[in-house]
Structure 1
Amino acid sequence: MANYQEFLDGIDRAAYHEGELTWEEDGFTVTRTYQYSPPGCHDSCGVLFYAKDGKLDHVEGDPLSPFTNGKLCMRCLDLPEIVNHPDRVLYPMKRAGERGENKWERITWDEAYDMIETKVKSIREEYGSESIVCVHGTGRNVNWLVPLFGQAALQTPNISTLFFTGFACYMPRVCGAMAPLGDFPIADAAVGHEDRYVDPSFKAPEVIVVWGNEPLASNADGYIGHWLVQCVQMGSRIISIDPRLTWWGARAAYHLQLRPGTDAALACAWLNVIISEGLYDHEFVDCWTSGLDELWEGIKDMTPEWAAPITGLSAEDITASARLYASGNNSAIQWGLAFDQQMSAMALNLAVCDLMAICGNIDRPGGNILVRNSFEINAGYASGEDFTPQSAKDRKLTIARGTGITGGEFIAHACTDGILHCIEAGELPDGEPYPIKMIWFQSSNSLACAGMDAPRDYEALKTVDFIVNADPILTPLSVAVADLLLPVAMSCERNSARTWWTPVRTIYRAVEPAGEAKTDEQIVVDLMPRLNPEAAEAFGWTKDTDIADWYLAGGDGKKHGASSNVKGNISEKAKGGVGMSFQELSEKGGYAYDDWNHTYEKYAKGMLRDDGNPGFSTPSGRIELAPYTYRVWGLTPTPFHTEPPEGPVTTPELMEEYPLILSCGGRSFEFFHSEHRQMPTMREFHPLPLVMVNPVDAEKYRVEDGQWAWIENGHGRFKQVVKVTPRVAPGVIHAEHGWWFPEQEAAEPSLFGTFDSNPNNCTRAFETGEGGIGTNIKSMICRIYPYSAGDELPGEKVTRKGGWGDYTVGAMCGSKVD
Structure 2
Amino acid sequence: MKSVCRMCHGGCGALIDLENGVPTAIHGDPDNPTSEGYFCIKGKASLDLLHSPDRLTTPLARTGPRGSGSFEPIGWDEALDRICHRLTETIARHGPESVALGQGTDRNYQEWVFRLANALGTPNVVGPAHVCFYPRVMASIMTYGAFTFCDYEGDPEVVLLWGSNKPDTHSDGVIGVKLLRAVERGSRVITVDPRRTRTAARSELHLPVRPGTDCALALGMIKLVVDEGWYDRDFVAEYTTGFDELAEHVREYDLERVAGITGLEPELIRRATRAYATASRACIEAGTGLSQNENSFDTHRAIALLCALCGNLDAPGGDVIWEPMPIEGRRAFPRSDLLPEEQARKRIGGDRHRILSMSGWVAPGDLHRAVVTGSPYPVTSLLLFGSNILASHENTELVRRSLEKLDLVVVCDMFLTPTARYADVVLPVSSWLERDQIVEFNSYIAARRKVATVEGCRSDEEIILALAERLGLARHFFPSVRAALDAKLSGIGLTWEQFTEIGYIRNEKRYRKYRDGGFRTRSGRVDLRHDGLKAMGYEPFPVHRPAPPPDPELPYLMTSAHPRRFYNTEFHQLPTTARRRPAARVTVHPDTAKREGLTDGDEVALFTRAGAREVRMTVRISDSVAPDVVLADAGWWYPGESSLDESLRSSVNHLTSNDRSDVQMGSATMRGLAVGIRRVGPGRG
Q: Same fold (TM over 0.5)?
A: yes
Query: Does residue 725 of the first structure (1) align with residue 676 of the second (2)?
Result: no
| Counterpart for residue 470 of structure 2 | 530
Equivalent pair of 1:239/1:255 in contact (CA under 8 Å): yes
Identical columns (%): 29
Q: Structure 2 CA distance, aligned partners of 1:328 and 1:549? A: 45
Q: Name the SS for the 1:770 alignment partner.
A: coil
Q: Structure 2 CA distance, aligned partners of 1:294 and 1:736? A: 41
| Counterpart for residue 463 of structure 1 | 405
Query: Does residue 659 of the first structure (1) align with residue 659 of the second (2)?
Result: no
Change over 3 Å in CA distance of 1:617–1:419 after alignment to 2:
same
Matches within 5 A, 1:5-16: none
**Structure 1 runs not aligned, ≥5 long:** 1-30, 191-201, 429-433, 554-576, 607-613, 645-649, 792-818
Shift of the alpha carbon at 1:388?
4.3
Matches within 5 A, 1:244-643: 244-375=195-326, 377-380=328-331, 383-388=334-339, 392-400=343-351, 410-428=358-376, 434-449=377-392, 451-479=393-421, 481-512=422-453, 514-532=454-472, 535-539=473-477, 541-553=478-490, 577-588=491-502, 590-595=503-508, 598-604=509-515, 606=516, 614-643=517-546
Query: Does residue 711 of the first structure (1) align with residue 606 of the second (2)?
Result: yes
Shift of the alpha carbon at 1:330?
0.5
Shift of the alpha carbon at 1:126?
1.2
Q: Which range moves more in the overlay, 677-686 or 74-83? A: 677-686
Q: Structure 1 CA distance, aligned partners of 2:531 and 2:504? A: 38
| Counterpart for residue 765 of structure 1 | 658
Over residues 200-222 of structure 1, what are the superposed CA-to-partner deviations in whole Å (9 max), with x where a residue is unaligned? xx3x1111111012112222233
Equivalent pair of 2:112/2:333 in contact (CA under 8 Å): no
Q: Name the SS for the 2:543 alignment partner.
A: coil
| Counterpart for residue 577 of structure 2 | 682
Equivalent pair of 1:207/1:331 in contact (CA under 8 Å): yes
Q: Structure 2 CA distance, aligned partners of 1:515 and 1:327? A: 59
Shift of the alpha carbon at 1:54?
5.4
Letter in 1 for 2:382: I
Q: Structure 1 CA distance, aligned partners of 2:110 and 2:49? A: 22
Equivalent pair of 2:641/2:647 in contact (CA under 8 Å): no
Change over 3 Å in CA distance of 1:407–1:282 after alignment to 2:
closer
Equivalent pair of 2:368/2:398 in contact (CA under 8 Å): no
Matches within 5 A, 1:24-39: 31-36=1-6
Q: Structure 1 CA distance, aligned partners of 2:390 and 2:644? A: 14
Letter in 2 for 1:324: A
Q: Structure 2 CA distance, aligned partners of 1:278 and 1:107? A: 69
Of the three residues 668, 671, 674, the one matched with 1:778 is 671
Q: Structure 2 CA distance, aligned partners of 1:717 and 1:169? A: 25
Task: Tell me how many residue pairs correspond in the alignment.
Answer: 682
Matches within 5 A, 1:5-84: 31-36=1-6, 40-52=7-19, 55-84=22-51
Change over 3 Å in CA distance of 1:728–1:642 after alignment to 2:
same
Letter in 2 for 1:521: E
Equivalent pair of 1:634/1:771 in contact (CA under 8 Å): no
Q: Structure 2 CA distance, aligned partners of 1:406 and 1:623? A: 21
Equivalent pair of 2:350/2:362 in contact (CA under 8 Å): yes
Equivalent pair of 2:639/2:647 in contact (CA under 8 Å): no
User: What TM-score, normalized by structure 2, do the two folds share?
Assistant: 0.96
Q: Structure 2 CA distance, aligned partners of 1:442 and 1:436? A: 18
Shift of the alpha carbon at 1:384?
3.9
Letter in 1 for 2:202: R
Q: Name the SS for the 1:90 alignment partner.
A: coil
Q: Name the SS for the 1:321 alignment partner.
A: helix
| Counterpart for residue 559 of structure 1 | none
Letter in 1 for 2:381: M
Q: Structure 2 CA distance, aligned partners of 1:279 and 1:232? A: 24
Equivalent pair of 1:89/1:473 in contact (CA under 8 Å): yes
Change over 3 Å in CA distance of 1:440–1:177 after alignment to 2:
same
**Structure 2 runs not aligned, ≥5 long:** none
Q: Structure 1 CA distance, aligned partners of 2:342 and 2:528? A: 38
Equivalent pair of 2:640/2:647 in contact (CA under 8 Å): no
| Counterpart for residue 231 of structure 1 | 182
Q: Name the SS for the 1:740 alignment partner.
A: coil
Over residues 571-628 of structure 1, what are the superposed CA-to-partner deviations in whole Å (9 max), with x where a residue is unaligned? xxxxxx322111111111x111234xx2111112x2xxxxxxx211111111121123
Q: Structure 2 CA distance, aligned partners of 1:76 and 1:408? A: 32
Q: Which range moves more in the overlay, 693-702 or 633-642? A: 633-642
Of the three residues 734, 742, 750, the one matched with 2:639 is 742
Change over 3 Å in CA distance of 1:222–1:637 after alignment to 2:
farther
Q: Structure 2 CA distance, aligned partners of 1:759 and 1:77? A: 27
Q: Which range moves more in the overlay, 440-449 or 408-417? A: 408-417
Shift of the alpha carbon at 1:410?
2.4
Letter in 2 for 1:544: V
Shift of the alpha carbon at 1:381?
8.5
Change over 3 Å in CA distance of 1:381–1:710 after alignment to 2:
farther
Of the three residues 138, 144, 149, the one matched with 2:105 is 138
Shift of the alpha carbon at 1:149?
1.7
Of the three residues 96, 119, 133, the one matched with 2:86 is 119
Shift of the alpha carbon at 1:395?
2.6
Q: Which has the larger radius of gyration?
A: 1
Letter in 2 for 1:151: N
